[in-house]
Amino acid sequence: MAAQLGRRGILLGGAVIGASALAACTSNEVAGGQQTSGTKVAAGDNGKPGAHITIGFSCPQADHGWIAAITKNAAAQAKLYSDVTFSPVEPTNDVAKQIAAIETLINKKVSVLVVLPNDGKQLTAIGRKAMDAGIPVVNLDRIFDTPLAYRTWIGGDNYGMGVSAGTYIGEKLKGKKDAVIAEVAGIDSLPLTQERSQGFKDALSRYGLKVTNRVAAQFTSSSGQQVTSNLLQAAPKIDALWNHDDDQGVGVLAAIKQANRNEFLMVGGAGSTDAMQVIKADNTPLKATVTYSPSMASSAISLARLIGQKKGMSDLVENEVPARITLASATITKENVDQYLALGFKS
Amino acid sequence: MTDQAPPADERRRVEAQSVAAARPSHAVAMLGEAGWTRNLGLVVALAILSLVGVLTVDTFATTSNLLTVLKNASVIGVVTVGMTFVIMGGGIDLSVGSLIALASVWSTTVATQSFGAGGVWFCALTVGTVAGLINGFLIAYGRLVAFIVTLAMLVGARGLAQYISNQQTQVVKVDAINDLAASSVLGIPVLVLIMLAVFAAGWVLLNLTTFGRRTVAVGGNAEAARLAGIDVRLHTLLLYGLSGLCCGIAAVMLTAQANSGASTNGEFYELDAIAAVIIGGTLLTGGRGTLVGTFLGVMVFTVITNLFILNNLPTPIQNITKGAIIIAAVLLQRRGKSAATT
């Protein structure tokens, strides 16, 4: 009996220790605490507290680093203003649920809405409804079908991103007519992927170059690794490779390392902190990344505040915030990486 | 409970009889002609694909490309071993992809990584196995339908993975894990060796042990197996635990390949795994199947993906072809089977 109890005790004890060790393993806290990045309050009159406003915020559920950073940046930026009440709704990947959530914000009579739609076309009607109800809408990144549905659109430049990548590679490979240029695209059915590829193609053609091998992944590191391992087999010698997304880039780099290849230069996309650190260390083919920064969410909150308080942008002459703002895609290399590290996002 | 069960000796005898009854052609199927006819469709499909590969791309038949194909098959290959057991035992496991996501995320958190490679392995295998056992417990002792339980686990485990990772990609800094995917022994990638070892262990377990014979009996006719004295519920529990363990191993392999853990890992692996097992000749109703067939099934899919990328062809056409191949392989199989029986 005693022996049995003892054995049970040991088993139970082992299970408890095992379970608590496992539970402890879910922590992702890095020693040294969190840094806030990708937010900023303007100096001057616009930075000073003004009329109190409520900003409603709706975006898709984070399924990878970029969207996660959008959500985080928006909340962090709103927190910097004492005159802003931030009112986010539960993120969702379902169009119908996002429409319902925005309805709630309209009914709540928030002062301004910031919306990153799951699908710009499918959410146009609800954007219009908010505008018709007198609530200005700041449309973030994925654009609505009609300007009637937003007061201001702010977003990245997917075509420009492709152009930046193509220009960087074109400059490096200028004059090399038979260059092998590979492209690892993101989810192929998305318009943004097609725009990026088009920009890349157009920029390369200015240098008389073209994409010779193109594959598409899923914006995830594991899919990036899979397609790249096959791609490297298809092209035994590559001169340059552009990968659309730094999240999947972790996998692309892993595949390159596993295949022991380093005869080419690689350019990333989006601008994650991780990619920037790799560029800074300069010990992999990844030499540059072209930005599509989630700091745009912070800027959207600032614009929403200005619109709500009926102010303009202090550096512009006009009294109103512009109707459309397209962010430029910067090229980050080893030379300027330090200046961008603060804008990076955790992949 | 013990006073109702027959004595152990007696039980073993009856069990052996029932197993023999459940699968009369056991030895034949394993070694003889029938085993090969069953896999004929797949062998033909693989041969055609390889021929297309050799004809269209010069780099197809190189050693490095073949090793790449095997490496790309390794993660899903390990998953299909567990899946073959579950399906042969009359069940289904829809949660494998999510279990991989959960195990890969749990084993790559900052806290786990601080324990090094051992911590990552331990965490992934434990999380996978325990989650599998939870599936098995609910199905066997909670008397719930496998489809529903594992569907709930599919949703729940991925949710937990998203919660832990905060939906971000967790980059692995443990070199011993990352190196797994980059290193080889005697020219064969370590990941491929792991897959082959899992397949070999699975083959031995299925064909040469009581556990394997019981799996066939339980899947063939659970009631007869119970009457023969097999603890069907315990066996079912173990089958799902085994599937979870395979997911844990696969999670470490995937993590090593992608140098990262993410809640998006293993998406739709349940469909790939089930498809490979089914075209490999395992009956969806349980009781019959081979791991050789499963392996061939995995290879067919991986070779298709490889071929399409080598030929620079777009993804949609690849998916259409995969669908067609599933149908063609199953049709060929049926024809081979009816030819063998008549």
The count of other CB atoms within 10 Å of the CB of residue A160 is 22
Select the residue of A24, A247, A258 nearest B169 (Cβ to Cβ).
Answer: A247
| B309 to A227: CB separation less than 8 angstroms, yes or no | yes
Top-confidence residue, A110 or A5: A110
Mean pLDDT within A127-134: 94
The DSSP secondary structure of A266-319, one letter per residue, reads EEEEE-BHHHHHHHHHT-SSEEEEEE--TTHHHHHHHHHHHHHTT---TTSSSS
Select the residue of B109, B110, B262 nearest A220 (Cβ to Cβ).
Answer: B262
The DSSP secondary structure of A200-262, one letter per residue, reads HHHHHHHTT----EEEE--SSHHHHHHHHHHHHHH-SS-SEEEES-HHHHHHHHHHHHHTT--
Residues of A in contact with B310 (CB under 8 A): 230, 233-234
What Rg, from alpha-carbon coordinates, does chain A have? 23
Q: Report the complex ipTM.
A: 0.73
| A222 to B178: CB separation less than 8 angstroms, yes or no | no
Predicted confidence (pLDDT) per residue in A234-279, tens digit:
999 999 999 999 989 999 999 999 999 999 999 999 999 999 999 9
Min Cα distance A319 → chain B (Å) is 40
Predicted confidence (pLDDT) per residue in B91-139, tens digit:
999 999 999 999 999 999 999 999 999 999 999 999 999 999 999 999 9
Beta bridge partners of A241: A182, A266
| A25 to B112: CB separation less than 8 angstroms, yes or no | yes
| pLDDT higher than 70, residue A182 | yes
Residues of A in contact with B65 (CB under 8 A): 233
Min Cα distance B130 → chain A (Å) is 10
Check if A214 contacts B (Cβ < 8 Å): yes
Mean pLDDT within B262-278: 91
CA A188, distance to chain mean position in Å, is 17
| A251 to B309: CB separation less than 8 angstroms, yes or no | no
Min Cα distance B259 → chain A (Å) is 6
pLDDT-derived band at B1 (thresholds 50, 70, 90) equals very low
Min Cα distance A341 → chain B (Å) is 17
Check if A67 contacts B (Cβ < 8 Å): yes
Predicted confidence (pLDDT) per residue in B177-201, tens digit:
999 998 999 999 999 999 999 999 9
Mean pLDDT within A123-129: 93
Question: pTM above the 0.95 mark?
Answer: no
| Region of poorest pLDDT, from A66-80, B16-30, B55-69 | B16-30
| Region of poorest pLDDT, from A6-20, A218-232, B29-43, B244-258 | B29-43
pLDDT-derived band at B327 (thresholds 50, 70, 90) equals confident
Predicted confidence (pLDDT) per residue in B4-36, tens digit:
444 555 555 545 545 544 444 444 444 444 456
Residues of A in contact with B107 (CB under 8 A): 25
Question: Please, which residues 97-156 of chain A have a Cβ atom closer than 8 Å to chain B?
Answer: none
pLDDT-derived band at B340 (thresholds 50, 70, 90) equals low
Question: Percent of chain B having pLDDT more than 90?
Answer: 63
**Which pLDDT score is estimated for B9?**
55
Residues of B in contact with A274 (CB under 8 A): 171
The phi-psi region of residue A321 (left if phi > 0; otherwise alpha if psi is between -120 and 50; otherwise beta) is: beta
| B171 to A234: CB separation less than 8 angstroms, yes or no | no
| A188 to B315: CB separation less than 8 angstroms, yes or no | yes
b (16+ CB within 10 A) / e for B208-240: eeeebbbbbbbbbbbebbbebbbbbbebbbbbb
